[in-house]
Amino acid sequence: MRLIRGLYNIPSDFSGCVATIGNFDGVHLGHQAILQQLKKQGEEHQLPTVVMMFEPQPREFFAPDQAPARLANMSEKLQDLASFGIDYVLCLPFNQKLRSMSADQFIQTILLDGLKISHLIVGDDFRFGCDRTGDYQLLQQAGAKEQNGFSVEDTKTFELEGKRVSSTRVRECLSANDLAGARKLLGRPYRMSGRIGYGRQLGRTIGVPTANVILQRNKLPMTGVYAVKAIAITVDECNESPALNQAGKAHSSNKEWQGVANIGVKPTVAGIPEPSLEVHIFDINENLYGKRLSIEFCQKIREEKKFNGLDELKAAIENDMKVARAFFS
């Protein structure tokens, strides 16, 4: 899979595609159904498949303070999209220029001139263009014109247990400590990944060293202390995502550990609160700095808490470790 940043980076020999447009935050079961639909159409048309997305996401552009926490950062999203055999991801900057583009301009500039689109898959409630004036019907009308000649297909609402599967539902499950519910909606355990960077190394001073996972997130969909699995994965530096094997899964080094993780803002440690994920890995004896880990959240142990000093913090972590080991036993 190849990541294309901006229209100007689309290859000059690009000559048609089937595409879909969306945020694909979390790549849940509903998204997966769209990707399977896209892959099928790509095979039928014998054309490459393209997922178009925007950065930042539109809600983050219009109301950054009110925008929800992302379920996945860009690297995680690319990994999940690549696992479905998608050929290209086109990431467009959502800025004032794009926000001001009319629906007709969007169709001509991006879909026709840029992607040379042959088939488009969108939801029947899809809106685009300045003030959301473009819709599914307008796309159908534009595609039916002889000089354009592209077809449009709508996606069916994907439901689980009688309710629409959505990124919002996944966030609600995580917020309510319902990891099992999130797993059902995602089709896999919820996880976060990132490189291991240097923190303040306070854990070493109290006998519980932690791996500081660099999150690249402004907001968190969940906080607290969890029993986790940590999996070492290799990275495709060109695509900014974990490298994939022939089955479309992230390459791992066959190294998987159990541990306990704190995700939140580390209230006991003085400093500027910022989202962090720190993992104490059980029974490990190797240097993880610079490597990439995928952290799978298995069971919540407790809420994040501010303690009166490092001794109290150490006692709490030791108890968290006992609870986590008991969970995995």
All domains of the chain, ordered by start, with CATH? 2-160 (3.40.50.620), 190-328 (2.40.30.30)
Residues linked to residue 191 through DSSP beta bridges, in sequence order: 296
User: In this predicted model, what pLDDT tens digit does every residue of 114-159 receive, in sequence order?
Assistant: 999 999 999 877 899 998 999 999 999 999 987 888 999 999 889 9
**Side-chain half-sphere CA neighbours of 80 within 13 A:** 26
Helices (H) and strands (E) in the chain, counts: 10, 16
Q: What is the pTM for the complete model shown?
A: 0.89
The tokens for 327 are 């969970």
Minimal CA–CA distance to 177: which of 303, 26, 72, 34?
303
Strand 235-236 versus strand 17-21 pairing type: unpaired
Question: pLDDT confidence of 235, banded at 50, 70, 90?
Answer: low
Please check the confidence at residue 242 and state whether its pLDDT lies above 50: no
The HSE-up count of residue 263 (CA atoms within 13 Å, CB side) is: 24
Tell me the pLDDT tens digit for each residue of 29-78: 999 999 999 999 999 999 999 999 999 999 999 999 999 999 999 999 99
